[in-house]
Amino acid sequence: MCGFAGFFGGIASQGQAGDEAVLKRMADTLLTRGPDDAGYWSDQNHRIGLGHRRLAIVDLSPAGHQPMLSASSRYVIVFNGEIYNHLLLREALEAGGQAPAWRGHSDTETLLAGFDAWGVQGTAERAIGMFAFAVWDKQTGTLFLARDRIGEKPLYYGWQGRGENAVFLFGSELKALRVHPAFENIINRGALSLQLRHNYIPAPYSIYADIAKLPAGSLLTVSLQQREPKVWSYWSGVQTAESGVANPFAGTAEQAVDALEILLKDAIRQQMVADVPLGAFLSGGVDSSTVVALMQTQSSRPVKTFTIGFHEDGYNEAIYAKAVAKHLDTDHTELYVTAEQTMAVIPRLPTLYDEPFSDSSQIPTFLVSQLARQHVTVSLSGDAGDELFCGYNRYHLAAGIWNKVTTAPMPLRMLAAKVLTSISPQSWNRMAGVVRSVLPLSLPFANMGDKLHKGAGALESKSFDALYLNLVSHWHDPASVVIDGYAPPTLLAGEAPLLAGLDNIQRMMALDMLTYLPDDILAKVDRAAMGVSLETRVPFLDHRVVELAWRLPQAMKLRDGQSKWALRQVLYRHVPKALIERPKMGFGVPIGDWLRGPLRDWGESLLDEARLRNEGFFHPALVRLKWKEHLSGQRNWQYQLWDVLMFQAWLEEQ
């Protein structure tokens, strides 16, 4: 696991020393991504420079140093990630008589040999792993950028400046691009609008104008002759979902579970290869417990597992993780953190996440990464199980709502929505309080007004995609909150893929795999872990597992109201059902309560009306109204406020 940055084009610099000085400044911003080594390479004639920071995981010797040249001297690479099947790729090269005289055993050297034999795209298609890399082809004068299939590793790029002064910048994080002299630092208000809606900025956008994220599963080329970057997919999540549903697994349910277990074990075996200490995150839920169980079956010693616990009721999974760890006999470490320790992470968030990011589970994710790094350098995680095996409650909720509301004609639905929203949430809450005294306490009266207003949004939805966008949105009209805001098209709105043959639940799963998974979940884990120089690996995202998951019939994922059915059957072969079966619990913290309590002064400072007006990004009245309603307890606006606060905290750091 590493970090890299570079530049291409522009006016010739003051020589190699000048180029390396710029590259060093860029790469040094990525120190936590690569604390073990640094390297720089530049070519004055072609105005290309590559900088690298290394976290040594495989081949700790100088033979793994980057930037690295291919044996043919045609290609120069900077690489972030792991190629789990690189030894198999070496065997294929050797069998075809295309292997060089190996200098070491790093996967970086394997990639370069693959480029010489199969080309850049051919090698990316053969690779199983998580990766982002930049490759300079000396022969053609072309720069290649590539990103892994699902988007575990980040990669930003874009031209900055104009005319002959324009420079193409690229790197693992935005902070590396920011220190280049050509960087323009113009905030993209459309991207800010998207962050308020989703709590993350979806690819291909970034918070800066003219700087993009390379989409998952994509390759990019750019040259001085072809200055407009050409981007194309070498692997498509849309096609994988469509093909899987169209060509379902043909065996029995038992055979499907067998196939899933065999493939998961192979993916995990490959991801357990490291020349440094390795462990796993363990929450005690289905996904992480499955990963740890299959790790333990393939390990000669207890697997190191890590959990953080909270003293607050409703947020603590540590007791469940401890029970699973005891059953599997892992070497388990848990840490109970206080509210003060948790809140102490907040000042670090703008630097860790590098652009506005407001999924509040970023805080416990950082804490568990920090705990694990005290013992290991690599940790496996159970991320992506929800998206691949139908784990989120919202899938069933959205499909159920849509089935109900579409029984009524649209004019009647619009009228009902108008009636519901004509009464304020506070008034609905007061009425609910009156009737609650004569009805069973088990009925869901909490925040009744908010729920009815959200339900009104569902009634007004003209399509299932619109309903789902409504359910996963924080600010429903963020462009009205951002001064000069607008809504750029995304895969959830404006550029929705066809996803032919998928039903509504499968459609939500696919959209989450394409958007929420890479841009929220994987970004959250990558930045938190890399902030403490910890490599994380996600076995469920071996693309072979992804492809098999999409071939499993929906009845093998959602059965008799239970999600992740096939995955649970794999787990129950190793862990008793009684240790796993419980209501789903999110990995969160009580942000809403903290904003009314210990974080109130911090929030007030960032949301000060004069400050908002002077900065010029938000309409102060709309933000202040939600802040006052939240503080008074009238409404719970924790998510909407956290979106604004994370931008404000990020802006303060710039």
According to CATH, what is the number of the domain 237-409+455-589?
3.40.50.620
Are 183 and 29 in contact, with CB atoms under 8 Å apart?
no
Q: Which of 25-34, 226-235, 492-501, 588-597 has the lowest mean pLDDT?
A: 588-597
Q: How do strand 230-233 and strand 218-223 relate by DSSP bridges?
A: antiparallel
Q: What is the pLDDT of residues 252-272, one digit of tens each?
A: 999 999 999 999 999 999 999
Which is higher by pLDDT, 435 or 206? 206
Q: Provide mean pLDDT across the span 583-596.
A: 82
Q: Would you say residue 473 has pLDDT above 90?
A: yes
Q: Would you say residue 399 has pLDDT above 70?
A: yes
pLDDT bucket at 164, cuts 50 / 70 / 90: confident
pLDDT bucket at 442, cuts 50 / 70 / 90: very low
d(CA 172, CA 378): 19
Mean pLDDT of the chain: 93
Are 376 and 350 in contact, with CB atoms under 8 Å apart?
no
Q: Hey, where are the domains in the chain? A: 2-235, 237-409+455-589, 591-653
Q: Would you say residue 450 has pLDDT above 90?
A: no
Q: Provide mean pLDDT across the span 62-90.
A: 96
Which position among 1, 2, 589, 595 bears the catalytic label? Answer: 2
pLDDT bucket at 447, cuts 50 / 70 / 90: low
Q: What is the pLDDT of residue 527?
A: 97
Q: What percent of the chain has pLDDT over 90?
A: 82
Q: Which of 124-133, 180-189, 412-421, 626-635 has the lowest mean pLDDT?
A: 412-421
Q: What are the CA-CA distances from residue 326 to residues 58, 300, 335, 562 (Å)? A: 30, 17, 16, 26
Q: What is the pLDDT of residues 625-647, one digit of tens each?
A: 999 999 999 899 999 999 999 99
Q: What is the pLDDT of residue 625?
A: 97
Q: Which of 391, 375, 387, 372 is nearest to 281 (CA)?
A: 372
Q: What is the pLDDT of residues 8-19, one digit of tens each?
A: 998 766 677 788
d(CA 2, CA 12): 28
Q: What is the pLDDT of residues 129-147, one digit of tens each?
A: 999 999 999 999 999 999 9
Torsion of CA 575, 581, 584, 589, to 10 degrees: -70
Q: Would you say residue 375 has pLDDT above 70?
A: yes
Q: What is the pLDDT of residues 293-342, one digit of tens each?
A: 999 999 999 999 999 998 876 677 899 999 999 999 999 999 999 889 99
Q: Provide mean pLDDT across the span 286-290.
A: 97
Q: Would you say residue 53 has pLDDT above 60?
A: yes
Q: What is the pLDDT of residue 433?
A: 63
Q: Would you say residue 437 has pLDDT above 70?
A: no
The edge-to-edge listing of strands for the beta sheet with 304-310 is: 331-337, 304-310, 278-281, 378-380, 535-537
Task: List, in sequence order, every residue forming a beta bridge with 290; answer none if it has no partner.
Answer: none
Q: Would you say residue 244 has pLDDT above 60?
A: yes
Q: What percent of the chain has pLDDT over 70?
A: 93
Q: Provide mean pLDDT across the span 490-498.
A: 95
Are 35 and 533 in contact, with CB atoms under 8 Å apart?
yes
According to CATH, what is the number of the domain 2-235?
3.60.20.10
Q: What is the pLDDT of residue 414?
A: 76
Q: What is the pLDDT of residue 165?
A: 84
Running DSSP on this structure, what letter comes out for residue 215?
P
pLDDT bucket at 418, cuts 50 / 70 / 90: confident
Whether 2 is catalytic = yes
Q: What is the pLDDT of residues 103-119, one digit of tens each?
A: 999 999 999 999 999 99
